[in-house]
């Protein structure tokens, strides 16, 4: 009706790609490999040109609270998820172009994003080349990809840069273990899934670098995260001090965060409680997941990138965790 054509969202493809890689690790089926090759090839076709390295944005204009992004403007968030997915796919397919593209992403992060330095010369990355905001999860996602690429290049600058971002964000953790969304006056909320991103990214830097100096921030942040954002009934609260809107990103990221931190098993009762509530209250009888549930109304739009790719991504980590546990019990 409005002339909007069907199109691919690169970040959505990246989430599906990682999900299929996880499923392939559980059972190396031909159809999973076909999906991995299709998705990774399509992602390479959708790169945004004109920057120092490989990068991606969204296939539509979007307005954030702090800035406007024309479609295809590359962001550190989309690029980091896609770069990690390409490495996951490389480990399965051994297609060198996937690894080289992921390595190229670090040039975009290091050269095209803006940096906001503090008095210690630590900094965070901007969301895109067009803004200078200090959004904590965005900077950390960039740092995470730098760390993930490091074992393939042994470029010490990648870890050194990642450490500066991790340090910048950890210094801004509250005494309770929380982070606001960013530094701007209208970014002072504390929410569920961005807290999960922060913890995942800091931990992945630590895991790859062997630098344990930020462990206390992870411990405090994880305790705050699991004790604050999830109710006894399994509801995933959006904010630290307010439940609604219940967003499908929150239960999805819980699984990913706990899996990446290696603590999903010890929190499995929480995870299962959240998943049961989510499937009972936010999944259509047709199978897809709803976008958001507000107090009096539910948005049942079947967004592919925001809802379906995220729950597919999350369930793939949950199933992979079950598979690895079974292998450990019955080697």
- pLDDT tens for each residue of 104-160: 999 999 999 999 999 999 999 999 999 888 999 999 999 999 999 999 999 999 999
Predicted local distance difference test score (pLDDT) of residue 72 = 87
Q: Using the predicted structure, report yes or no on whether residue 216 has a pLDDT greater than 80.
A: yes
Question: Which are the contacts of 38, defined by CB distance < 8 A and separation ≥ 6?
Answer: none
Q: Helix 96-112 to helix 156-170 angle, to the nearest 10 degrees?
A: 50
Q: Side by side, which strands form the sheet with 298-299? A: 246-247, 292-293, 298-299
Predicted local distance difference test score (pLDDT) of residue 27 = 97
Arithmetic mean of pLDDT over the chain: 95
Q: Using the predicted structure, report yes or no on whether residue 61 has a pLDDT greater than 80.
A: no
Give me the mean pLDDT over the 173-191 stretch: 92
Between 177-186, 233-242, 251-260, the lowest mean confidence (pLDDT) is in 177-186
Give me the mean pLDDT over the 24-48 stretch: 98
Predicted local distance difference test score (pLDDT) of residue 327 = 84
pTM tops 0.85: yes
Q: 184 pLDDT band (50/70/90 cuts)?
A: confident
Report whether 114 contacts 127 (CB < 8 A): no
Burial label for 329, CB within 10 Å (0-12, 13-18, 19+), is exposed
Q: How many CB atoms lie within 10 A of CB 276?
A: 12
Sign, Cα dihedral of 302, 306, 247, 267: positive
Q: Using the predicted structure, report yes or no on whether residue 199 has a pLDDT greater than 90.
A: yes
Report whether 59 contacts 72 (CB < 8 A): yes
Report whether 118 contacts 92 (CB < 8 A): no
- Could you give the CA distance from residue 87 to residue 155 in angstroms, rounded to a whole number? 17
Q: Helix 76-93 to helix 30-45 angle, to the nearest 10 degrees?
A: 140
Predicted local distance difference test score (pLDDT) of residue 272 = 97
Give me the mean pLDDT over the 251-265 stretch: 97
Report whether 145 contacts 83 (CB < 8 A): yes
Report whether 305 contacts 313 (CB < 8 A): no
Between 67-81, 83-97, 189-203, the lowest mean confidence (pLDDT) is in 67-81
- Report the percent of the chain where pLDDT is more than 70: 98
pLDDT in tens, 275-306: 999 999 999 999 999 999 999 999 999 999 99
Higher-pLDDT residue of 254, 132:
254
Q: Using the predicted structure, report yes or no on whether residue 66 has a pLDDT greater than 70.
A: no
Predicted local distance difference test score (pLDDT) of residue 181 = 92
Q: Using the predicted structure, report yes or no on whether residue 246 has a pLDDT greater than 90.
A: yes
Q: 232 pLDDT band (50/70/90 cuts)?
A: very high
pLDDT in tens, 13-29: 999 999 999 999 999 99
Predicted local distance difference test score (pLDDT) of residue 328 = 82
- Report the percent of the chain where pLDDT is more than 90: 88
Q: Show the tokens assigned to 274.
A: 């959240």
Q: 330 pLDDT band (50/70/90 cuts)?
A: confident
How far, in whole angstroms, is CA 89 from its chain's centroid?
17
């Amino acid at each position: 009706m409005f002339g909007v054509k069907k199109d691919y969202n690169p970040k959505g493809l990246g989430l599906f790609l990682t999900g299929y890689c996880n499923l392939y690790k559980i059972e190396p089926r031909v159809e999973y490999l076909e999906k991995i090759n299709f998705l990774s090839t399509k992602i390479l076709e959708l790169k945004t040109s004109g920057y120092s390295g490989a990068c991606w944005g969204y296939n539509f204009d979007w307005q954030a609270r702090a800035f406007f992004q024309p479609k295809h403007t590359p962001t550190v968030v989309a690029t980091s998820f896609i770069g990690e997915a390409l490495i996951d796919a490389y480990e399965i397919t051994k297609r060198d172009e996937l690894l080289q593209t992921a390595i190229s992403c670090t040039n975009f992060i290091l050269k095209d994003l803006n940096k906001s330095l503090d008095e210690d010369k630590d900094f965070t990355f901007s969301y895109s080349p067009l803004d200078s905001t200090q959004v904590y999860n965005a900077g950390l996602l960039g740092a995470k990809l730098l760390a993930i690429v490091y074992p393939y290049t042994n470029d010490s600058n990648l870890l050194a840069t990642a450490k500066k971002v991790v340090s910048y964000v950890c210094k801004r953790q509250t005494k309770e273990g929380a982070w606001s969304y960013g530094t701007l006056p209208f970014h002072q909320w504390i929410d569920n899934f961005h807290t999960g991103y922060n913890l995942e990214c800091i931990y992945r830097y630590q895991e790859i670098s062997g630098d344990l100096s930020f462990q206390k921030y992870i411990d405090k942040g994880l305790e705050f995260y699991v004790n604050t954002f999830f109710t006894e009934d399994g509801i995933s609260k959006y904010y630290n001090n307010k439940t609604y809107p219940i967003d499908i990103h929150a239960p999805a990221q819980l699984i990913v965060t706990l899996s990446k931190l290696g603590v999903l098993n010890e929190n499995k009762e929480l995870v299962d409680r959240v998943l049961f509530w989510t499937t009972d209250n936010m999944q259509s009888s047709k199978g897809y997941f709803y976008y958001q549930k507000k107090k009096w109304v539910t948005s049942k739009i079947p967004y592919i990138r925001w809802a379906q790719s995220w729950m597919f991504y999350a369930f793939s980590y949950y199933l992979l965790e079950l598979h690895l546990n079974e292998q450990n019990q019955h080697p």
